[in-house]
């Protein structure tokens, strides 16, 4: 699930945290004056993350025990992906001032980024005790509960966040996503509709609403929402992948391939996308490219039966029947009722002259999936 976090930056002389919009400015001087450093570290005007980091570092050089500067610099380190440095600063900040709700909240985000949901929840809870009417604190704790598959506590927190802020688009998105993941499609759709109404620029809400329409068989509305999500976030690899799968299922392999390409251009870290593109390339006759994708998928997820099945299809179309049968055998060893592997192995055996073995495999595949022959006809293999 994709979620955003509110970030609290503490002005030096205020009791409560203020949310700032941070913009990228031209590169700042390496050594700002003391006055400039304080403005960058604590000010509520528009400064870049780099400027805030530089300013807080100068402040801390002069006074290593400035709790607010530590908290603000810790958040900048977190944004840059330097979680260990972020955690060190926020730990020190909280040691110095246990009453700073923003520091507890921001440390909760760091723990959540690190996958430590329990510590994140403890930190968000401390923030809530200090400031019990901040909707963001409940929203983020709800996200951490979802990370632990604690649906009931997550819903309680999302409900509280929405009660505190009835126009909180992100909380509606998170609650709607939780509903969808637990099979409550009508509630999910209502929340996602409202999230979009409150914030029409938040792409993931369209993407998750598209999944509800897709699952209902409403192809046109699903594709429209995926298109809007991608328009708002052109690097959304998950929605490219989801839309590609819709095109694949409709046998529109050229459009599917385009979306698999774009998903991998945005994020090449998922073996399943390489496998899907391998299969699509094999169907389209781009067999050497398909093999390259399957090899990459298997490097990332060795012995995956679905990728072995895709590579076997590629070998089958190349006429390398022994290699195809070997991959089908291995895939079926891991997943004995994989219909496509049974059917594909049957076709390979038939081409090798093993009529009895072929009919046995093909009959087993059809017993699992009566339409398997039609599927293979779309793949260009009969």
Query: Do 142 and 161 form a contact (C-beta atoms < 8 A)?
Result: yes
Question: What is the reported pLDDT for 30?
Answer: 59
Residue with tokens 């009959």: 363
pLDDT digits 0-9 by tens, 102-148: 999 999 999 999 999 999 999 999 999 999 999 999 999 999 999 99
pLDDT digits 0-9 by tens, 17-71: 333 222 223 344 457 899 999 999 998 778 899 999 999 999 999 999 999 999 9
Cα(354)–Cα(225) distance, integer angstroms: 49
Is a pLDDT exceeding 70 seen at residue 251? Answer: yes
Show the tokens assigned to 207: 């993407």
Mean pLDDT of 254-271: 98
Alpha-carbon distance values, 278 to 7, 207, 292, 297, 375 (Å): 41, 25, 8, 9, 16
Cα(205)–Cα(226) distance, integer angstroms: 10
Question: What is the reported pLDDT for 31?
Answer: 77
Least confident of 253-257, 306-310, 324-328, 378-382: 378-382
Residue with tokens 């991608």: 230
Cα(372)–Cα(206) distance, integer angstroms: 33
Cα(99)–Cα(133) distance, integer angstroms: 15
Cβ-based burial of 326 (10 A; exposed 0-12, middle 13-18, buried ≥19): middle
State what percent of residues in the chain have pLDDT above 70.
92
DSSP assignment string, 42-73: H--S---HHHHHHHHHHHHHH-TT-HHHHHHH
Query: Do 77 and 86 form a contact (C-beta atoms < 8 A)?
Result: yes
Query: Do 312 and 290 form a contact (C-beta atoms < 8 A)?
Result: no
3-state secondary structure of 281: helix
Mean pLDDT of 253-281: 98
Question: What is the reported pLDDT for 53?
Answer: 95
State the average pLDDT for the chain.
92
Positive or negative torsion for Cα 66, 69, 74, 80: negative
Task: Count CB atoms within 10 A of the CB of residue 267.
Answer: 14
Query: Do 60 and 72 form a contact (C-beta atoms < 8 A)?
Result: no
Query: Do 311 and 291 form a contact (C-beta atoms < 8 A)?
Result: yes
pLDDT digits 0-9 by tens, 211-237: 999 999 999 999 999 999 999 999 999
Residue of 216, 213, 207, 278 whose CA lies nearest to 238: 207
Sorted by sequence, the CB contacts under 8 Å of residue 223 that are 6+ apart come out as 210, 243, 246
pLDDT digits 0-9 by tens, 345-362: 999 999 999 999 999 999
Is a pLDDT exceeding 90 seen at residue 4? Answer: no
Is a pLDDT exceeding 80 seen at residue 184? Answer: yes
Which helix (H) or strand (E) covers residue 170, if one does? helix 169-181
Residue 28 DSSP one-character state: P
Residue of 228, 256, 221 whose CA lies nearest to 242: 256
Residue with tokens 């700073």: 100
Positive or negative torsion for Cα 140, 143, 148, 153: positive
Mean pLDDT of 285-296: 98
Is a pLDDT exceeding 70 seen at residue 2? Answer: no
Cα(168)–Cα(175) distance, integer angstroms: 11
Is a pLDDT exceeding 70 seen at residue 11? Answer: no
Question: What is the reported pLDDT for 46?
Answer: 83
Cα(206)–Cα(222) distance, integer angstroms: 9
Which residue spans within the chain are E strands per DSSP?
none
């Amino acid at each position: 699930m994709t979620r955003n976090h509110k970030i609290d930056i503490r002005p030096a002389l205020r009791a409560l945290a203020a949310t700032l919009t941070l913009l990228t400015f031209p590169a700042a001087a390496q050594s700002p004056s003391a006055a400039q450093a304080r403005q960058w570290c604590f000010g509520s005007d528009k400064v870049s993350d780099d400027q805030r980091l530089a300013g807080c570092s100068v402040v801390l050089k002069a006074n290593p025990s400035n709790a607010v500067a530590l908290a603000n610099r810790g958040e900048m380190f977190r944004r840059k992906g330097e979680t260990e440095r972020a955690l060190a600063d926020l730990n020190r900040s909280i040691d110095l001032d246990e009453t700073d709700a923003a520091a507890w909240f921001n440390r909760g985000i760091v723990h959540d980024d690190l996958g430590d949901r329990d510590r994140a929840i403890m930190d968000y809870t401390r923030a809530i005790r200090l400031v019990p009417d901040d909707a963001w604190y409940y929203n983020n704790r709800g996200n951490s509960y979802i990370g632990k598959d604690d649906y009931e506590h997550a819903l309680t927190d999302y409900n509280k966040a929405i009660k505190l802020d009835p126009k909180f688009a992100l909380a509606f998105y998170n609650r709607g996503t939780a509903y969808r993941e637990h099979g409550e499609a009508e509630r999910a759709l209502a929340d996602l509709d409202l999230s979009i109404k409150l914030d029409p620029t938040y792409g993931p809400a369209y993407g998750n609403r598209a999944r509800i329409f897709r699952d209902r068989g409403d192809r046109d509305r699903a594709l429209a929402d995926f298109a809007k999500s991608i328009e708002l976030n052109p690097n959304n690899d998950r929605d490219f992948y989801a839309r590609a799968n819709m095109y694949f299922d409709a046998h529109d392999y050229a459009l599917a391939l385009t979306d698999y390409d774009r998903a991998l251009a945005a994020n090449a870290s998922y073996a399943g996308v390489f496998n899907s593109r391998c299969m699509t390339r094999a169907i389209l006759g781009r067999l050497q490219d398909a093999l390259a994708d399957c090899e990459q998928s298997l490097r990332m997820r060795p012995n995956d039966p679905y990728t072995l099945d895709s590579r076997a299809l590629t070998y089958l179309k190349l006429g390398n029947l022994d290699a195809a049968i070997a991959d089908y055998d291995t895939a079926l060893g891991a997943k004995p009722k994989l219909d496509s592997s049974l059917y594909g192995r049957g076709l390979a055996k038939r081409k090798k002259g093993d009529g009895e073995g072929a009919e046995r495999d093909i009959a087993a595949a059809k017993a699992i999936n009566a339409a398997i022959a039609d599927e293979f006809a779309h793949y260009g293999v009969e």
